[in-house]
Structure 1
Amino acid sequence: MNFLEKLLGASRQHNSLLCVGLDPEPGLFPVVLRDVPVEKAVIRFCHAIIEATAAFVCAFKPNIAFFEALGPAGMSVFQEVLAAIPAYIPLIIDAKRGDLGNTARNYATTVFDIYGCDAVTVNPYLGYDSVAPFLAYRDKGVIMLCRTSNPSARDFQDLLVQDGEGQQRPLYEVVARRVQTWNEAGNCGLVVGATYPQELRVIRSLCPTMPILIPGVGVQGGDLEASIQAGVDKHGERAILAVSRSILYAGGSHDFATRAGQEAQRLRNLINEARSYSEG
């Protein structure tokens, strides 16, 4: 089963386009975990979040930087957290890798062969040879930064550049068009922020069948309804709404996992309301 098949399977089983981001920040953990050694606290926290939210998601997206920040033990913690994710739910490692040659090959080996993820985020701005080692894993998803959710994304991504046809287009649009040509195996995806729904609509029109990872809903203030209506395909699928902090830290006491599950269910249902509207 390839990444897209697994994604659609989990999405349909749970009636969900919600992806829970696993970005553990020990300083924000509930009081009940404050006196626990940090590595154990991260494992307990993430395991509890996974168990509480799994029934409401189409994917989980751990951000590797939050585990690297734990020091030498971080990668062992990371692997323990990954092992808790149910096998039928896609695992997207948020790593935003971007490099060349042997470095890119080693990055691909690490995320796919060692960590066993189903998809990874990468930075395509070094060109095709920086993503080719990832695309060689034809059953794995390679989700490329296109129009990111941060405010300063405009610094570069909105710049008008001349594409291969001599047309002036925003850089994010050139990226989307180029990634579409790399999608021979059907394993490409794009990252497009919920903070830019108009651009998301343009990108969806250019890439009608590609899965789109949509961060920026929640704390970053992205428009959930507009993003769903712009980001789903013609069947109301292939949009992955990534939410982290507003779910992870929905509760600050002993019931933090229950509160996280309730928030995940609430967001899943809101997404489905917007999806129904877009299909209608």
Structure 2
Amino acid sequence: MMSLTETSLFEAVKNQYLYKLKSHLGMFLAMVGVQVMALLFSLGGVMSYGMGSQYVNLSIRFFSSEMVIGFTCIWIIVVAVWLTTKDYQNIDFTFVSNRLSSNLSNAAFLVTAALIGGVTAMLSGFLLRIIVYFKGSSYLLSQNFIVTPEVIFTGIAVTLLYLLLFGSLGYFCGVLAQLSKVFIVLMAGTYFGLIILAGRGHHLPELLKVFDFFRGESSLALLAVKVILAAGLIYACSIMLSNRLEVR
């Protein structure tokens, strides 16, 4: 007599999630490479300005980990899109799984990636300070050179939240691209169109100012609520859309 073992949704998601963590360490190595490259770009300063007179010239440069955080956001978008590709999705079906467990394990993997990326991107600011301190021959202001633990944890939390948001957006765009190649053309056209408009000094559409809804939030707790709700909604939409993909 044949017996069938029913696998719960939780077990299916856990098995796929653990498999993805073990088999995709290269993604995190790529993240380190991206962050190191951004750190090298940051050695020249993220912003500078100067002033002077006949006898004195003053040049001021600002250093921060903003570029590293920006590059990490791009990295997690690329990872999120890659998770939605057909070749990658076929790997999930080597397990006892369905679309729901596959999407949930992908979301869990992206949350882990956001956590690791948020911590390393924020801590890169310390490495940047050390390099600038020993490398620079110019006068270095001590203000903000030593960061309090409160500022560190707040920075990690904010970076984590933004990575969660960008990861969910990247996943949603990847699902759209899998539904139809038309969406790829539309998204690419929209992206380059906005760049051209911004370059010509045009005001961007009011719809795009939705990002101010997150960027302008001064309370960490409210920002967390906004990002978690938005990311959850985006993932829910991604799951519903992915159900329209042909089942393997």
Q: Which has the higher helix share?
A: 2
Q: Which has the higher strand share?
A: 1
Shorter-chain TM-score tier: under 0.3
What is the TM-score normalised by the length of structure 2?
Answer: 0.24
What is the TM-score normalised by the length of structure 1?
Answer: 0.22
